[in-house]
């Protein structure tokens, strides 16, 4: 996780960042910091070790740590593909993640060394729980053609999913993998072919109400262990579906971060321990 000390809304690169009058939304930083600390404490309670990167002045969205890289295992060591961000405002964040991974002995690949196509890391590329392939969101922040390079570097096939709702500009805003058999999605965020692919890839598909996703970012839920689902409050239909499916639900307020277009899944990057 990246500390929220520099978090604010300094520009608009997604529909969530502006108020109805067109002005930039304002972040209550003390409240955002308290929300971030409670989320970190929740991970501690689930016995997940949290490593923290310092915030960096001039990079207010760096707190959304899912976007700057995609982590995988090459059979011998952990590796990270560094993103090529779609927005110039965020490209400078990459250097700090590069330093983090190199200090820990990761093999590091700059996607920009192979292609000019944009790719926003774990925001759009999600490894299937069995590790056999990658779900690849595209349409807003990541180019479909970028996955040709991602597949070559990871030696894994990619199942492309086309995003068609501008409010769901990353795959992780409308597609939450819960376990190897279960995914939760906002159906209207995908084209017909992508929906067929999703339903073929999972035995159980939980459908998220579009309004619950728009208002509460239900689709940005995170299930770290196949049992516990962490999400922002305000999605009672989704919570009921999760509990009926046997998952334990943990609500953690991320409302200050939702102003900028991110919630629980966006605020972390899962890395290899050790």
SS3 59: coil
Count H helices and E strands in the chain, helices first: 8, 11
Q: How many CB atoms lie within 10 A of CB 120?
A: 29
Which residue, 221, 210, 162, is CA-closest to 186?
210
Q: Please name which of 94, 171, 185 lies closest in space to residue 134, comparing C-alpha atoms.
A: 171
CA–CA distance, 126 with 171 (Å, rounded to integer): 8
The residue count of the chain comes to 274
Identify each DSSP E strand in 95-226 by its residue range.
Answer: 107-110, 125-127, 134-138, 158-162, 175-179, 182-185, 204-207
16 is catalytic: no
User: Which member of 79, 170, 174, 223 is catalytic?
Assistant: 170
170 counts as catalytic: yes
Over the range 99-109, which residues count as b (16 or more CB within 10 Å of their CB) and which as e?
ebbeeeebbbb
Active site residues: 170, 266
């Amino acid at each position: 996780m990246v500390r929220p000390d520099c978090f604010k809304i300094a520009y608009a690169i997604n529909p969530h960042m502006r108020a109805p009058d067109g002005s930039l939304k304002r972040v209550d930083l003390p409240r955002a910091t308290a929300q971030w600390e409670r989320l970190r404490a929740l991970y501690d309670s689930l016995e997940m070790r949290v490593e923290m990167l310092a915030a960096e002045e001039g990079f207010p969205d760096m707190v959304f740590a899912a976007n700057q890289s995609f982590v995988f295992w090459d059979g011998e060591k952990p590796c990270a593909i560094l993103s090529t961000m779609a927005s110039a405002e965020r490209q400078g964040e990459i250097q700090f993640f590069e330093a983090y991974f190199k200090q820990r002995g990761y093999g590091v690949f700059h996607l920009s060394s192979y292609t000019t196509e944009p790719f926003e890391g774990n925001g759009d590329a999600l490894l299937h729980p069995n590790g056999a392939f990658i779900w690849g969101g595209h349409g807003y922040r990541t180019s479909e053609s970028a996955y040709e390079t991602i597949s070559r570097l990871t030696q894994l096939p990619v199942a492309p999913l086309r995003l068609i709702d501008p409010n769901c500009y990353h795959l992780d805003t409308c597609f939450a993998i819960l376990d190897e058999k279960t995914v939760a999605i906002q159906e209207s965020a995908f084209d017909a072919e992508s929906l067929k692919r999703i339903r073929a890839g999972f035995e159980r598909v939980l459908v998220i109400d579009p309004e619950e996703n728009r208002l509460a970012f239900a689709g940005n839920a995170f299930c770290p262990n196949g049992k516990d689902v962490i999400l922002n409050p305000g999605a009672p239909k989704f919570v009921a579906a999760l509990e009926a499916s046997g998952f334990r639900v943990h609500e953690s307020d991320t409302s200050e971060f939702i102003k900028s277009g991110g919630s629980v899944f966006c605020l972390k990057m899962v890395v290899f321990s050790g």
